[in-house]
Structure 1
């Protein structure tokens, strides 16, 4: 199924779900809680990743200092003709005092399924991620930040992907219900890859080298050679756009687009687009639908370049 088809289906499902939720609200609107780093955590619905990038959505500011935290969970369990298990859980934390803000987040996604009735159940989703971030607001519209993230993802061939991202953020709009901002900075990435994927990459390099010696094809590319290393460091420039809008007293929409451009190899750029639509159920509980689309221009061998992930979950807000 293509990423475009998944995107259309996700948007349709989101609009249907929250149109119903908005019509059902008849109580007094709950007060809006100051948020932490806006996080779109993806449920285990058959996709293979949820990524550090899904946390990279910029800081959420409020006019008052304080602390906010959320816990989010969702899942699916099926037996009989279709056998599958999928669970997702995450948490966020944010502390703000004067010009200083600290935020953190963590998420885990896990899924198992059997393609046929008599087939063994196999793991289809397995990833874990975490983020720490510090922001210093030196004016009303400008902030300096640094964030560190880690991700472990079996199906992207990663035992560990660590990222450190310092940068500067500029807020075009920044009020309690409507935010628009940009981030510009640097990304340092350190990968520790799974042995299985490294062996596949080395086989690709060996075949390309043999073809070059025999005069039957070009030699291995720089990206192919890099993929054959157990560990790899990558330096990139980072550009991020974020938008947050409280559409009414019950519904909030958040989106973020991140672009990473490596200095070398330049063709290994990545793009991540996150979306979340949250509807208040009570003062403490909310329902959220999220959609994440990630594109890697130069993935590891036998790893697809595009992931599309959709989830529906319940959020509990601590105050």
Structure 2
């Protein structure tokens, strides 16, 4: 290569780099994402308890828009002296753009077991749940949301429990790995009860002396029921390290009438990352109903272990 050719090439390279630098300086920087923009959590909490008096987890935030989805499943099967079958599965989906976020979730839990080797196998767990939610972040630490949820649960006497919850959320801490927030809002609940439970309630009411009958006993004889409540929720999410995440949430529902029918739900989840796509989660849910239907216990405690697949 001649000296003249090398000199000309050097001059051309200098001119090209100068033009590129000038272009970079004059290019308008991308707009800053508004504070409060939501994003997906580090994965699923692992909980298969989703709706209303069990699902209570606010949206998460990041600096990027996007879509994320997860599925999780677990189960147990045994034969011989101990006969049982239990399966659980759930999925989540989240889409975020600017200050808007849409999320949804669904879960199914089913179990059958026999008390001993000669007893017939009976259904012991049967519920189906779903939820959709929309969030709008209007300020750095504030968001408006509305969510709708539904649950079908044989052993709580429900063909359907539908809930609609509008409200406002405030984030005290809002870091990618450490969040603390509160939600305050209103809850409308519509129950459609199982015919079996309604008939049981009517027999109990009819055989109870009039002087001992209560409003709760009479209300339980109706096929449908509506309830209006105020809702308070506290949530905490901590990415303890690169592999372990802890999440907890406490929800309190205070009906306007009857006021004694308040409910508390406490959710906990400990998730451990296995690989980039797989995680294991252990969850514990405690549900307390101060005024349940007749023949239904006031407290449920649920513990589960599941494997999670992350589509992100």
Q: Shorter-chain-normalised TM-score: which range?
A: 0.7 to 0.9
Contact kept, 8 Å, 2:53 with 2:264, in 1: the verdict is: no
Q: Write out aligned runs for 1:208-227 (5 A).
A: 208=208, 211-212=209-210, 218-227=211-220
Deviation at 1:54, TM superposition (A): 3.0
Write out per-residue CA displacement over residues 153-212 of structure 1, whole angstroms, 9 at most, x where no aligned residue. 00000000000000000000001000000000000000000011111111222233xx23
Q: Helix, strand or coil: the match of 1:56?
A: coil
Q: Helix, strand or coil: the match of 2:213?
A: coil
Q: Which residue of 1 aligns with 2:225?
A: 232
Deviation at 1:56, TM superposition (A): 1.9
Deviation at 1:51, TM superposition (A): 4.6
Write out per-residue CA displacement over residues 12-40 of structure 1, whole angstroms, 9 at most, x where no aligned residue. xxxxxxxxxxxxxxxxxxxxx93399655
Q: What is the root-mean-square deviation of aligned Cα atoms in Å? A: 1.6
Q: Which residue of 2 aligns with 1:88?
A: 88
Write out per-residue CA displacement over residues 74-110 of structure 1, whole angstroms, 9 at most, x where no aligned residue. 0000001100000000000111111000000000000
Higher relative contact order (CA 8 A, sep 6+): 1
Q: Are 2:278 and 1:278 aligned?
A: no
Contact kept, 8 Å, 1:198 with 1:228, in 2: the verdict is: yes
Deviation at 1:291, TM superposition (A): 0.3
Write out per-residue CA displacement over residues 116-153 of structure 1, whole angstroms, 9 at most, x where no aligned residue. 10111000000000000000000110000000000000
Contact kept, 8 Å, 2:46 with 2:306, in 1: the verdict is: no
Deviation at 1:71, TM superposition (A): 0.3
Q: Are 2:247 and 1:254 aligned?
A: yes
Taking a change above 3 Å as real, the CA distance of residues 140 and 67 of structure 1, as seen in their structure-2 partners, is: same
Structure 1 runs, 4 residues or longer, greater than 2 Å off: 33-42, 49-55
Q: Which residue of 1 aligns with 2:177?
A: 177
Deviation at 1:232, TM superposition (A): 0.4
Uncovered stretches (5+) of structure 2, i.e. residues with no partner: 1-38
How far apart in 2 are the matches of 1:206 and 1:246? 55
Q: TM-score, normalised by structure 2?
A: 0.85
Taking a change above 3 Å as real, the CA distance of residues 39 and 265 of structure 1, as seen in their structure-2 partners, is: farther
Contact kept, 8 Å, 1:40 with 1:54, in 2: the verdict is: no
- State the structure with more CA Rg: 2
Q: Which residue of 2 aligns with 1:59?
A: 59
Q: TM-score, normalised by structure 1?
A: 0.83
Q: Which residue of 2 aligns with 1:124?
A: 124
How far apart in 1 are the matches of 2:54 and 2:63? 25
Between Structure 1 and Structure 2, how many residues are aligned? 274
Taking a change above 3 Å as real, the CA distance of residues 276 and 314 of structure 1, as seen in their structure-2 partners, is: same
Contact kept, 8 Å, 2:130 with 2:151, in 1: the verdict is: yes
Taking a change above 3 Å as real, the CA distance of residues 181 and 166 of structure 1, as seen in their structure-2 partners, is: same
